[in-house]
Structure 1
Amino acid sequence: MRQKHTVRVLALTACVAAALAGCKQNATAPASGEAPAATAAANDDAALDKAVDAFIDGYFQHNPVFAASAGKHEYDGKLPDYSPEGLKATTDWLHAQRDAFAKFGDDKLDEQGRFRRDYALAVIDGNLFWLEDSGFAWKNPAFYTGDLSPSMYLTRPYAPLATRMDAFIRYQEALPKAVEQIKANFKLPLPASYIDLGVNSFGGYASFFESDVPKIFAEVKDDALQARLKASNAAAIKATQDMADWLKAQKPQATQDFALGAEKFAKMLHATERVDIPLDQLKAAGEADLARNLAAMKAACGQFAPGKTLQQCVEKEAADKPQGGAVEGARAQLAGLRQFIVDKDLVTIPGPEQAKVEEAPPFNRWNFAYIEIPGPYEKNLPSVYYIAPPDPTWPKAEQDAYVPGKSVLLFTSAHEVWPGHFLQFLHSNRAGWKFGQLFVGYAFAEGWAHYCEEMMFDAGLDGATPETHIGQLSEALLRDVRFLSAIGMHTGGMTMAQSEKMFREQGLQDPGNARQQAARGTYDPAYLNYTLGKLMIMQLREDWTKDKGGRKAWKQFHDQFLSYGGPPIPLVRAQMLGGAPEAKLWTAPAPAASETPPAPSSMATPASSGG
């Protein structure tokens, strides 16, 4: 689950579009004869800037892992206070911050100030939802596991290895207390999928600490540091393995009580993304996009694998594996993706940075791929695109099926690197407003990355062949089923087994991925944001470019969109089009009657899957 994100903002030619993009400008004295109202607004804007700076400082103190990941290394080695008292202190602080920002009225701020205030309020509301309303602090390991990741100290060369070793030791020294606090917070019984996540995550930490950590720091020739590492590593292995064992022991009493319920789910959407679309309309939009992509898959498969079922067609694509495996295959793809962006002039590439590709560490393999990007306070450091190997406990056939075909991997690489997450952060690393560099919404980041997949195919990636289209559509169907599973499992009574079936039959996923994705939906209800964000971006692009040349304005649209940091997309829509923030989802034009595909008979939609 992505509760907290680091993000950055693009500065459009030295803050040319500052009022829209939120680029920070120096406060100046009011001009002679300036109206009193304008002077008051300027004063309130300056006060808002101070409030934002104070919020960032306070947020770092309450969330030291977030701070260290952003590049504030005075917070290295620290973990949050996960005790009930610590969580309450953070919650109380957020409420006080919300009250302070809400006092900045529309009449006392200019356009830029109102945007910044609303952006800050959205970040606060999102944090408060996960802390208070979700209940995740008391049952969901995903609430904590992101904070516990030590990857920053091990893979990010922000300092000499000995310095990072010292930070890592301090992290490990703090870990047993943090794990005990987490264990004490959990209110039994726990949902089965949450237990499995915790067992895999904490067990993965223990395995990683034991097998990999000593080798990583072996070259540091400092006896005192090595002695401290040996002690901290032993304690960390014990703490995390004990936690995994304790969670595993709860399995006989496990429940299926993971659903947020319709009321909390709707609140999540508004608090985190400023989306107020009724759930039945959201569900209908997801079903329409699923039908659109299934129809396109049927057409592509008719050319690529005539006479085969859709599942057989997808299996044929998946059989064309990347040479050397997924990690080597992704490495080979990145240069071509970047060159395609340049050749097609799709979006500005603002710097020379590149991303590395590595195998995901054992404690973070709950999804196939992700990318770690240095925070905005870091300079000249690499980003790492991680790819998870299949679970070695799965049957051999399922392990083989988990490794995607070259075309699916191509769009995973587009999502994670060019022009997805990595390019987004290249833009925002060059922003003028620090808040926008630090905080990004789930739908903004994942919506952009998922949008890029279809946009790249539409621009002709890899010749836009039927096989290439199958790769893009496989990713789109996966996200469509995530969208419907999130709504179904949390508001419509859909079971995890029904979700898994839907991933197999409608998402055309292999068995391992289907199980993994259905489980993720229970502890990450916001994973509908891939499709939700994509559909909001596609509608915004259509509305913004219609009087600017349509497709000819795509690059201009992309650069402008990336300039806002990472606020809820309805706030971006209001900045680009004017008016009040509004969530609008793109829907494909209806096909001619003769082209309308029949509804798949095995489709289990959230509303009908409660039994």
Structure 2
Amino acid sequence: MRSLRLLSLSVCVVAALAAGCKSETATPAAGADTAPAAAKPAGAEWNAAVDGFLSGFFEHFPTWGANAGKHEFDGRLPDFSAEGLQRNIQWLHQQRDAINAFGDERLDAGQRYQRDYVRAVIDGQLFWLEESGFSSKNPAFYAGDLSPSMYLTRPYAPLPQRMAAFVTYQENLPKAVAQIRANLKGPFPETYIQLGTAVFGGLAQFFDADVPKIFAEVKDDALQARFKQSNAAASAAMRELAEHMASQKAQATQDFALGADKFAKMLKATEGVDLPLDQLKAAGEADLERNLAALKSACEQYAKGKSLNDCITQVNDDKPVGGAVEGARAQLVGLRQFLVDKDLVTIPGTEQAKVEEAPPFNRNNFAYIEIPGPYEKNLPSVYYIAPPDPKWPKAEQDAYVPGKADLLFTSAHEVWPGHFLQFLHANRSQWKFAQLFVGYAYAEGWAHYTEEMMFDAGLDGATPEIHIGQLTNALLRNVRYLSAIGLHTGGMTVAQSEQMFKDKAFQDPGNARQQAARGTYDPAYLNYTLGKLMIMQLREDWTATRGGRSAWKGFHDQFLSYGGPPIPLLRGQMLGGPAETKLWQAPKPAAAAPAADAAAPASAKPAAAGATN
């Protein structure tokens, strides 16, 4: 999971992008127009419209602006009142109309691409605000904006300055909490109650137990007095909101499904994906079966004669030395060196990511990364890993800590060459908009894609044990994909999803519960596999005329140069055609060739046959 505000639900996304400068090799379609303003009459007007949108977005969504590094918005929270949310909706519609006023005849090809990118961002925001219904039901809608992480963990300013911003944030919390409580109208799905209780209660606990220690060294009596008052009030407000959610348990429902029509609208509005749901489901099922077959083959080599569960248990029993946090720190060194040795992708800078234990209020998923915004300079990114819930039975706590092979691909996903590397590239885009807005399927699809790509490139010898680590991560995302579709369009229950995570993704009970619950409040978590399948098909099509596998680095560098648009839109840019959705599917095993064809040249074989191992 990311702590990035992608174009999705705020619980899964908190604005966090790393600082950077212009790239040395810009993508023409994605970059700003470099012709003189006089040569393109609409150029200056178009650029002004985009700048105006960004300025307005910071005002309407100030937490997003602060996370991006616009610290004049520090301490501010959005207006969560019903009237405030409606004003945001109206403003976004006005912006959409203004963007649409730039017809094709007024813009060059690069600007038309930019217009479509901006419009896609607006459409995604409007879906969550206007059509999802989440503002009145789903605590996840608010959780990201309530996170104080940037003030506590990001050294963008001296501690006293960040403490002052944090105090302002806390002083604004009681009003925001009152607005949220007025919006959230029961009865709630059971999983929403659990999420709200955990997140809001976790913040209260964090304020009480941890925050005072962080600011204890600040020698400013007046500020400390303000903090004491704001911390008590903020903690009480969050605890009251958590208790309010917990009090709804007796009326809990299972009414979380978006329904097929709204789910399809979500995919179109947020990711530009317009395939029929039956095709989407079939592609997910095929990829699940592909990975299950590969797992069986790897286990036959690694633990011959054992069941798949016993095989995976044997792999996961090989725990990282010193625990998951220490293990990940060691893995990042080797992962980066592997990228360099294999020359798989350009690393545009010397930045490194830290690894830390996740704070108590943000442990609803095992791992995520926070990356400073593009307006920040020279700040660290932090890869957070959550410990098991201490309330779980000891056996479940032990099982929650992944084995070394599993953790290796989590580290690849989050840092090298996943999210962290992707944002090193995004933040060197010539177009500020592309630095700021990175889509869910683009970011998570890339990070998930890199796991299989790294194994195919020979990571750690590509042994059966390493393959099992990669496949268990892939199967987790396969089941997320199918759970999202099933939970929201097919009548799947949370219990059925949880069982599928156990049976098909081989998850321990704690993870299975978390993952099934997440599917109810984060219906877009199918984007990991959805994005990966779109990227794999795009790689196959792009490299087909550029040298095949030898062109992977060129593909990766060009893909990463665009910032983070919807992948169908990016596909049109990279291939010189229309925006369209295409999902990769593994080629079916070829039937035995007739004798007459035995000497057919290699070029007669399907191009995809050698694309994946």
Q: TM-score, normalised by structure 1?
A: 0.94
| C-alpha displacement of 1:28 | 3.1
1:257 pairs with 255, 258, 267, which one?
Answer: 255
Q: Which residue of 2 aligns with 1:68?
A: 66
Deviates more, 1:266-275 or 1:425-434: 425-434
2:425 pairs with 417, 427, 430, which one?
Answer: 427
1:542 pairs with 540, 545, 550, which one?
Answer: 540
SS at match of 2:561: helix
Q: Which residue of 1 aligns with 2:127?
A: 129
Tell me the amino acid that sits aligned with residue 14 of structure 1: E
Tell me the amino acid that sits aligned with residue 37 of structure 2: T
Cα distance in structure 2, aligned partners of 1:500 and 1:25: 52
Cα distance in structure 2, aligned partners of 1:213 and 1:117: 43
Q: Which residue of 2 aligns with 1:609?
A: none
Question: Judging changes above 3 Å, is the alpha-carbon distance between structure 1 residues 499 and 369 closer, same or farther for their aligned structure 2 residues?
Answer: same
1:21 pairs with 18, 26, 30, which one?
Answer: 30
Question: Judging changes above 3 Å, is the alpha-carbon distance between structure 1 residues 228 and 277 closer, same or farther for their aligned structure 2 residues?
Answer: same
CA deviations over 1:482-531 (Å, ceiling 9, x no partner)? 00000000000000000000000011111111110000000000000000
Q: Which residue of 1 aligns with 2:362?
A: 364
2:269 pairs with 263, 268, 271, which one?
Answer: 271
| C-alpha displacement of 1:9 | 10
Cα distance in structure 2, aligned partners of 1:6 and 1:106: 33
| C-alpha displacement of 1:104 | 1.1
| C-alpha displacement of 1:256 | 0.4
Q: Which residue of 1 aligns with 2:556?
A: 558
> What are the equivalent positions in structure 2 for 1:342-353 lying under 5 Å apart?
342-353=340-351
SS at match of 1:564: coil
| C-alpha displacement of 1:111 | 0.6
Question: Judging changes above 3 Å, is the alpha-carbon distance between structure 1 residues 578 and 26 closer, same or farther for their aligned structure 2 residues?
Answer: closer
Cα distance in structure 2, aligned partners of 1:233 and 1:13: 43
| C-alpha displacement of 1:109 | 1.1
Tell me the amino acid that sits aligned with residue 323 of structure 2: G
| C-alpha displacement of 1:11 | 8.1
Asked if 2 retains the 8 angstrom alpha-carbon contact of 1:8 and 1:566, the reply is: no
Q: Which residue of 2 aligns with 1:604?
A: none
Q: Which residue of 1 aligns with 2:604?
A: none
Cα distance in structure 1, aligned partners of 2:544 and 2:112: 27
| C-alpha displacement of 1:392 | 1.0
Tell me the amino acid that sits aligned with residue 494 of structure 2: M
Aligned residues: 582
Cα distance in structure 1, aligned partners of 2:385 and 2:588: 37
Q: Which residue of 2 aligns with 1:499?
A: 497
SS at match of 2:274: coil
> What are the equivalent positions in structure 2 for 1:586-597 lying under 5 Å apart?
586-592=584-590
CA deviations over 1:367-395 (Å, ceiling 9, x no partner)? 00000000000000000000000111111
Q: Which residue of 1 aligns with 2:449?
A: 451
1:516 pairs with 514, 522, 527, which one?
Answer: 514
SS at match of 1:588: coil
Q: Which residue of 2 aligns with 1:601?
A: none
Cα distance in structure 2, aligned partners of 1:494 and 1:22: 44
Cα distance in structure 1, aligned partners of 2:221 and 2:247: 39
| C-alpha displacement of 1:315 | 0.8
| C-alpha displacement of 1:12 | 8.3
SS at match of 2:37: coil
1:572 aligns with 2:582: no
Cα distance in structure 2, aligned partners of 1:121 and 1:127: 10
SS at match of 1:188: coil
Tell me the amino acid that sits aligned with residue 283 of structure 2: A
Q: Which residue of 2 aligns with 1:324?
A: 322
| C-alpha displacement of 1:44 | 2.0
SS at match of 1:509: coil
Cα distance in structure 1, aligned partners of 2:20 and 2:267: 26
Cα distance in structure 2, aligned partners of 1:4 and 1:417: 17
Cα distance in structure 2, aligned partners of 1:257 and 1:324: 42
Q: Which residue of 1 aligns with 2:105?
A: 107
Cα distance in structure 1, aligned partners of 2:247 and 2:18: 42
1:461 pairs with 459, 462, 465, which one?
Answer: 459
Cα distance in structure 2, aligned partners of 1:91 and 1:459: 46
Alignment root-mean-square deviation, CA: 1.4
Cα distance in structure 2, aligned partners of 1:24 and 1:202: 45
Tell me the amino acid that sits aligned with residue 31 of structure 2: G
| C-alpha displacement of 1:45 | 2.9
Q: Which residue of 2 aligns with 1:92?
A: 90
Asked if 2 retains the 8 angstrom alpha-carbon contact of 1:165 and 1:217, the reply is: yes
Q: Which residue of 1 aligns with 2:372?
A: 374
CA deviations over 1:166-189 (Å, ceiling 9, x no partner)? 000000000111111101101110
Tell me the amino acid that sits aligned with residue 431 of structure 2: W
SS at match of 1:29: helix
Runs of 4+ in 1 over 4 A off after TM superposition: 3-13
SS at match of 1:21: coil
Q: Which residue of 1 aligns with 2:81?
A: 83
SS at match of 1:127: helix
| C-alpha displacement of 1:22 | 2.5
